[in-house]
């Protein structure tokens, strides 16, 4: 199967599993509520599903059962969607469009968008800790621990807080890199580490995947910044040129587009190099980082 075919196949699996997860929620006490409808709106029908894809490809290196990896990937996608919903709020990035349609607080209202984020975050941990995900409680507990670390106050939330603090302090290249490693990179690291956890990988295999994820996260963010600087709003499904307009601290703002492109090449090599221990089994992950760097949306 080609990379594109597999990305599409996983996208369909993720969509169907998330639909079922949120249908289950909707059939309980939340059935028919605005909250349930808004959660479905936030999660279904859009997105590249790159984080679950990475998780499933990492798990595949170790022959992990795809159903377990899919559930863990959907938990991760719920955290990602929560972060997008909260990031779009007026108190944060104040965006009207996401994934080609109105943001959750525009389609519903701000209070609902806050609650959607809260509920998606908790569903993620409900999913990871459910005995149906994996029979071994030690594996489930390790997944919960690492997702909590990646998404919380020492991870993505801290990255977002640092990003929001820009303007109050002066930011250099190292500060921007640290902020982005937390805000964007932490969930990619979890994606790859979760594959290693599910696959009971050796310490060196796990370290290789973490090194890949680190280069992947930086490359993904640089590509994202380049798309914001040079991309097309219709293709992206969201506003462009926001970073410069808001005086955002990006590596492009500090060093320029040419330096960003040169750094992207180095990161691509780093990501590919980190996969060397897996030989040809790592080919899909090589394709994934190439896709993340060359994407147009």
Measured from the CB atom, the residue of 74 and 201 that comes closer to ligand GRG is: 74
Residue 261 contacts by C-beta under 8 Å, 6 or more apart in sequence?
226
Burial of 245 (0-12, 13-18, 19+ CB in 10 A): exposed
Q: How far is the CB of 148 from ligand GRG (least distance, A)?
A: 13
The CA-to-CA distance between both ends of the chain, in Å, stands at 23
- Which residue minimizes CB distance to ligand GRG? 47
Q: What residue spans of the chain are helical by DSSP H?
A: 3-27, 34-43, 50-60, 66-87, 104-107, 110-129, 137-151, 156-165, 173-180, 186-198, 203-230, 233-236, 242-245, 251-255, 257-274, 283-294
* Residues 6 or more apart whose Cβ sits within 8 Å of residue 41: 104, 107, 108
Give me the least distance between CB of 70 and ligand GRG, in Å please.
16
CB of 42 to ligand GRG, least distance (A): 11
Task: Scan for tokens 């990031």, then name that residue.
Answer: 87
Nearer to ligand GRG, 103 or 127 (CB): 103
Q: What is the rounded distance in angstroms from the CA atom of residue 263 to the CA atom of residue 297?
A: 20
Where do contacts with ligand GRG occur on this chain (CB under 6 A)?
47-48, 50, 80, 83-84, 86-87, 99, 156-157, 160, 183-184, 221, 224
Nearer to ligand GRG, 84 or 176 (CB): 84
Between 33 and 246, CB nearer to ligand GRG: 246
Which has the closest alpha carbon to 254: 176, 159, 149, 185? 176
- Least Cβ distance, residue 50 to ligand GRG (angstroms): 5
Closest approach of ligand GRG to the CB of residue 98, in Å: 7
Minimum gap (Å) between residue 139 Cβ and ligand GRG: 26
**Which one, 25 or 160, has the nearer CB to ligand GRG?**
160
What span, in angstroms and rounded, lies between the C-alpha atoms of 138 and 14? Answer: 25
Q: What is the DSSP letter of 210?
A: H
Residue in 79, 95, 70, 25 with CA at minimum distance from that of residue 198: 70
Q: Is 144 helix (H, G, I), strand (E, B) or coil?
A: helix
* Cβ nearer to ligand GRG, comparing 157 with 207: 157
Question: Considering the complex, what minimum distance in angstroms separates the CB of residue 196 from ligand GRG?
Answer: 21
Pick 127 or 180: Cβ nearer ligand GRG: 180
Question: What are the φ and ψ backbone dihedral angles of 102, each rounded to 5 degrees?
Answer: -55, 140
Q: How far is the CB of 146 from ligand GRG (least distance, A)?
A: 17
Task: For ligand GRG, give the closer residue by CB, 207 or 227.
Answer: 227
Q: Residue 174 and residue 213: Cα distance in Å, rounded?
A: 18
DSSP at 280: G
């Amino acid at each position: 199967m080609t990379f594109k075919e597999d990305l599409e196949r996983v996208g369909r699996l993720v969509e169907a599993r998330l639909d079922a997860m949120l249908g289950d929620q909707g059939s309980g006490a939340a059935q028919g509520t605005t909250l349930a409808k808004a959660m479905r709106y936030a999660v279904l029908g859009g997105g590249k599903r790159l984080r679950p894809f990475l998780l499933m490809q990492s798990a595949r290196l170790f022959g992990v059962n795809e159903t377990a990896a899919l559930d863990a990937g959907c938990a991760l996608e719920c955290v990602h969607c929560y972060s997008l919903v909260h990031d779009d709020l007026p108190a944060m990035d104040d965006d009207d469009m996401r994934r080609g349609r109105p943001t959750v607080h525009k389609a519903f209202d701000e209070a609902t968008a806050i609650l959607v984020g809260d509920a998606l975050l908790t569903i993620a941990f409900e999913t990871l800790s459910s005995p149906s995900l994996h029979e071994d409680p030690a594996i489930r507990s390790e997944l919960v621990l690492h997702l909590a670390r990646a998404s919380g106050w020492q991870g993505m939330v801290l990255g977002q807080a640092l990003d929001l603090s820009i303007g109050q302090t002066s930011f250099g290249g190292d500060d921007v890199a640290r902020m982005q490693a937390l805000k964007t990179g932490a969930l990619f690291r979890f994606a790859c580490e979760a594959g290693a956890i599910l696959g009971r990988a050796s310490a060196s295999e796990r370290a290789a995947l973490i090194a890949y994820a680190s280069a992947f996260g930086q490359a993904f963010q640089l590509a994202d910044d380049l798309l914001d600087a040079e991309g097309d709003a219709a293709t992206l499904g969201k506003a462009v040129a926001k970073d410069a307009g808001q005086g955002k601290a990006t590596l492009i703002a500090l060093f320029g587009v040419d330096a960003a492109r040169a750094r992207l090449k180095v990161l691509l090599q780093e990501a590919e190099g980190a996969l060397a221990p897996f030989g040809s089994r790592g080919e899909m992950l090589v394709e994934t980082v190439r896709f993340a760097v060359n994407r147009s949306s």
